[in-house]
Structure 1
């Protein structure tokens, strides 16, 4: 199959997913993944469709394949780290989720979505203090709420030391 044909079939499968035809998209993507096992974009889209169908365990190897080798464009790499981390968390692999999301944040520092899902995974691993710190910093820096912004400096201060009551 030529690269052009593969790209057309991938675009068609993505269009099916976006149109709500999830089972048809999955079938097309599984065929593409079998024919192009090393293609990061195909693997990413195949992982995504499995997540969309609630087939998280089946999504994991495709997410891992999509991140191997660094061929996935940055925007999709960010999505793959988020998808893999979130999926691992849902599956109860909390430590792996933390590791995956931290790796994603190393590559994409300050990404609010990765930080949010990392906070959830940290909570699941019993790292409640770090999870709340992360969420408070994120809230202070991203919230448009006037009340949060009025107390932003205090929130940022307490995010550094939650036990400080002075």
Structure 2
């Protein structure tokens, strides 16, 4: 199956077949789809992680995300898997690892805004409120027509805080 066909198959799964009220059925269908990929395929692991995550099964998604990344996931999928792993870690209360992953990852291209949004959430959950707001403003400022200089200055003046959430 070509990469384009695989992407189409996954898109169709989420648009037509995924049912968050049928955990078993959705996982079984994704397992059926990934069975057509080579054993240990990074893209298949990523999609299997994603379906577990979407169904609220974060504990099962985390090791699958890690394996997908370690197996050599490439391109946009690698960036998204890293963002999704960090978001899922945040959801299970591992704020520090989520922050670390998101701060250390490279620019996420078209998903850079998502990386910054999840980083802002994780920083907030970690009790770093000034840092959280600075990241959120940093994501917003480039989209504005005016006030960029003033908001950039105000964001830079926010204190780096660490308080218990």
Where structure 2 has 5 or more consecutive residues not aligned to the other structure, the ranges are 160-165
TM-score by length of structure 1 reads 0.76
Q: Which has the higher contact order (CA 8 A, sep 6+)?
A: 2
1:64 aligns to what? 66
Q: What count of residue pairs does the alignment treat as equivalent?
A: 151
**Partners of 1:10 and 1:42 within 8 A in 2:** no
TM-score by length of structure 2 reads 0.76
Distance (Å, rounded) in 2 between the aligned partners of 1:10 and 1:28: 15
Of residues 46, 62, 72 in structure 2, which corresponds to 1:44?
46
CA offsets 1:60-86 (integer angstroms, 9 cap, x no match): 11111111143x231111211111111
Distance (Å, rounded) in 2 between the aligned partners of 1:61 and 1:26: 16
The structure that has the greater radius of gyration is 1
Q: Post-superposition shift, 1:26?
A: 1.4
Of residues 35, 47, 55 in structure 2, which corresponds to 1:53?
55
Structure number with the higher helix fraction is 1
RMSD: 2.8
* SS of equivalent residue, structure 1 residue 111: helix
Where structure 1 has 5 or more consecutive residues not aligned to the other structure, the ranges are 144-148
**Partners of 1:47 and 1:59 within 8 A in 2:** yes
